[in-house]
Amino acid sequence: MGYGRKITGGKYHKFKKKKKHSLSRDERKVKLSETTKQKTIRGIGGNFKKVLLLAQTANVTDSKTKKTKKVKIKNVLETPSNRFLARQNILIKSAIIETELGKAKITNRPSQEGMVQAVLIKE
């Protein structure tokens, strides 16, 4: 048996460093703000996607009437995945927000899509 080999005779392979295509980007957290701020990012294949950085409005759908309105977000009430995100007013999927129409639940990923979509919650 040679040096650097397994008992079975197979070679041990060294850990390979990450290539540029496998590196991840900085984490984007969408904050509740007085202004709306978007950023355009180049994706795979030369495609572009708009990402949201700051938001103040949401497209809220009422499930009874099937109507959608663009309303202002007042506050982030709770975030089921992480309670600390609600304290910092960070908008993520499944966060419950307070709007002008009432409580609503975010149904999309604002950091990926460039807008906030929500559905009214029955109270």
17: pLDDT strictly greater than 70: yes
Q: Is residue 19 part of a domain?
A: no
Q: Among 8-12, 18-22, 67-71, 78-82, where is mean pLDDT lowest? A: 18-22
The CATH number of the domain holding residue 106 is 3.10.290.70
Q: How many domains does the chain have?
A: 1
The residues, ordered by sequence, that sit 6+ positions from 37 with a Cβ below 8 Å of its Cβ are 52, 53, 54
Q: Is 3 within the bounds of a domain?
A: no
17 within some domain: no
Tens of pLDDT, residues 33-42: 999 999 999 8
Domain coverage including residue 79: 28-120
| pLDDT tens readout for residues 63-119 | 899 999 999 999 999 999 998 999 999 999 999 999 999 999 999 999 888 999 999
Question: Does 44 fall in a domain?
Answer: yes
Q: Could you tell me the CA-to-CA distances from 20 to 17, 23, 42, 112 in Å, in that order?
A: 10, 5, 15, 21
| Residue 123 pLDDT | 72
Cα-Cα-Cα-Cα dihedral sign, residues 70, 71, 75, 80: negative
User: Does pLDDT of 1 surpass 60?
Assistant: no
Q: Is residue 59 part of a domain?
A: yes
Is residue 6 in a domain? Answer: no
Q: For residue 15, is it within any domain?
A: no
- Answer whether residue 51 shows pLDDT above 60: yes
User: Against a cut of 0.75, is the pTM above it?
Assistant: yes
Q: Is residue 8 part of a domain?
A: no
